[in-house]
Amino acid sequence: MNPVPGTACDLVLFGAMGDLAGKKLFPALYQLHRAGLLAPETRILALARRDHTEAEAVAHIGEQLEQHLEHGDEGSSASREGFLRRISYRQLDFASADGYRVLDDWREQGAAAAAGTVIVYYATPPGLYPTITGHLAGLRCCDSKTRIVVEKPIGQDLASARELNDQLADVFHEDQIYRIDHYLGKETVQNLIALRFANNLFASQWDQNHISHVEITVAESVGINGRWSYFDSAGQMRDMVQSHLLQLLCLLAMDPPSDLSSDSIRDEKVKVLKALRPMTPDLVNTHLVRGQYTAGTSEGRPVPGYLEEDGANPDSHTETFVALKVEIENWRWAGVPFYIRTGKRLPEKRSEVIIHFKPAPHYIFDPDQKHLANNKLIIRLQPDEGMALQILTKDQGLSRGMRLRQGPLDLTFAETFDHDRIPDAYERLLLEVIKGNQYLFVRRDEVEYAWQWVDQLLANCHECDAHPKRYAAGTWGPVASIAMITRDSRSWYEDA
Ligand SMILES: NC(=O)C1=CN([C@@H]2O[C@H](COP(=O)(O)OP(=O)(O)OC[C@H]3O[C@@H](n4cnc5c(N)ncnc54)[C@H](OP(=O)(O)O)[C@@H]3O)[C@@H](O)[C@H]2O)C=CC1
Ligand SMILES: O=C1O[C@H](COP(=O)(O)O)[C@@H](O)[C@H](O)[C@H]1O
């Protein structure tokens, strides 16, 4: 099928010389260009503080592409040059209103100016978002059609998230604001919607009558990648749980939306956030484990502990690992715990969801095999994207009688589907902004309900002022996280 190019737009990238732009945004835009999904008139204005000529800035972006494009995604040099020709560079101090008229000047030179939308992407330190918003307000190029893309973090807590949302709302309507949670751009995360609502087989089993518990693991083998000062002010709870993990939980737990529109999906996610059981001080003691990695090994090489990373404060109490038992107080999920865990410097990069189904009501097989009698659906979000349904069959052979055997019905996407590559999350997200679809972006109330729950948890966590439990880099987190799930006579999936 031939690609249908998005409508022409002018894309303004604040922070275009930064890490995110180089690693993710330009490579993603290049893939859209290469796939024919950017309209020919679409132009990109790169803005940053450094005193580059346009040629130097574009050359720098070209080098970033070379460095960050995956092997096989490079395309031809003509294609890369064609993409780079879309880019203009202007030096601008974002903090000062003086230079912002360059946006109007640039906008008015382009062919998309008459009809196309302006998309403004904030890829700057978050402290600049309100300033930039205020300065955009006075420009001719920013009007009711402008779309604003805001990178995480959206606040550090409920109060700061509300303040930022209010500042954005002073200038832009909610349907102009695209808050990024890049997990929503992952193909396998979007697939949760297809899996749940396109297959009646699962849709009819997706509740407390049929599911005993759910695990969500988002494990990273990396440490904090030179981002110590940002990470230390956030920790894994604010950096990962408040955003990506709660979004995954919402997609797994929400009721069926009436259609695929942005607000139908987001309304259902909000209902889940509102139904999260509040973490009272008693619950926090038993339902939360925080950890911090010490020196160990990662992918076969020795690595320092969190407190020995570059720039570290050796007294930091920030957690790099969180395990939680989350409960949802509604009819669908009463009595079904969601065990979630996420951490840095775990043994491997692996994000997956395990749905544990309840056993059949009456068991008639060998009592020694009763522990096998729970079907599991394993949804591999990354890597090795796909899913496997663990089912029970009769063990083959005359001598086996009615012995049971557990085996997977395995759907590995790379083998089953004839796609040459899985697009990066930012490709999907940028494409949806260009199309004006908000369903993969986080609405204001979602962000705020998520913060409300996390804030309450942190306020009730007396241990959070103390040092988190230690775990060696390259292990699955503190032993206490195993104890947390073992208390319920369960185990984390890989321990099973
Ligand atoms: N890096 C990542 O992996 C991720 C980042 N994010 C978020 O994306 C945003 C950007 O992060 P990141 O790219 O890492 O940040 P960087 O510090 O690497 O880049 C910041 C960019 O903003 C520019 N800038 C900063 N201050 C000014 C100013 N006063 N005037 C003009 N330009 C300025 C810098 O310009 P110059 O280079 O010229 O100084 C640079 O281009 C942050 O909100 C971050 O939380 C979210 C997820 C992942
Ligand atoms: O947003 C973030 O996500 C990354 C993990 O993303 P992934 O796509 O590689 O799974 C995490 O490392 C980072 O700390 C966090 O800010």
Question: Interior CA angle at 451 toward 189 and 380, to 5°?
Answer: 20
CATH superfamily of 9-151: NAD(P)-binding Rossmann-like Domain (3.40.50.720)
Q: Which residues are marked as active site?
A: 244
Q: Report residues of the chain scoring pLDDT below 70.
A: 1-5, 111-115, 418-420, 495-496
Q: Cα torsion for 364, 388, 245, 418, to the nearest 10°?
A: -160
pTM above 0.90, yes or no: yes
Map out the domains of the chain as residue ranges.
9-151, 184-422+443-495
Two domains, one topology: 9-151 and 184-422+443-495: no
Residue 355 main-chain phi, psi, to 5 deg:
-100, 120
CATH superfamily of 184-422+443-495: Dihydrodipicolinate Reductase; domain 2 (3.30.360.10)
Closest atom of ligand 2 to CA, residue 152: 1
Return the pLDDT at 496: 43
The protein residue whose alpha carbon is closest to atom 39 in ligand 1 is 49
The pocket around ligand 1, CB under 6 angstroms, is made up of: 15-21, 23, 48-50, 92-95, 123-126, 128, 151-153
For residues 324 and 287, the answer to whether their CB atoms sit within 8 Å is: yes
The protein residue whose alpha carbon is closest to atom 11 in ligand 2 is 240
Q: Indicate whether residue 181 lines ligand 2 (CB < 6 A).
A: no
- 464-488 pLDDT tens trace: 888 999 999 999 999 999 999 999 9
Helix (H) or strand (E) holding 178: strand 177-179
Return the pLDDT at 262: 95
Is residue 239 marked as binding? yes
Return the pLDDT at 344: 97
Closest atom of ligand 1 to CA, residue 52: 38
For residues 49 and 91, the answer to whether their CB atoms sit within 8 Å is: yes
Q: How far is the CA of 461 from the centre of ligand 2 (A)?
A: 24
Rounded CA Rg of the chain? 24
For residues 308 and 465, the answer to whether their CB atoms sit within 8 Å is: no
Is residue 417 marked as binding? no
- 114-136 pLDDT tens trace: 567 899 999 999 999 999 999 99
User: What is the number of the ligand closest to the CA of 221?
Assistant: 2
Return the pLDDT at 495: 46
- 186-233 pLDDT tens trace: 999 999 999 999 999 999 999 999 999 999 999 999 999 888 888 999
Q: How far apart are CA 366 and CA 260, in angstroms?
A: 45
Q: Indicate whether residue 232 lines ligand 2 (CB < 6 A).
A: no
Return the pLDDT at 419: 67
Return the pLDDT at 247: 98
Q: How far is the CA of 149 from the centre of ligand 2 (A)?
A: 18
Which of 12, 14, 17, 20 has most ligand 1 atoms within 8 Å of its beta carbon, as the pocket-test mutant? 20
For residues 13 and 123, the answer to whether their CB atoms sit within 8 Å is: yes
The protein residue whose alpha carbon is closest to atom 31 in ligand 1 is 49
Q: How far apart are CA 220 and CA 320, in angstroms?
A: 10
Q: How far is the CA of 121 from the centre of ligand 1 (A)?
A: 11
Which of 50, 56, 103, 124 has most ligand 1 atoms within 8 Å of its beta carbon, as the pocket-test mutant? 124
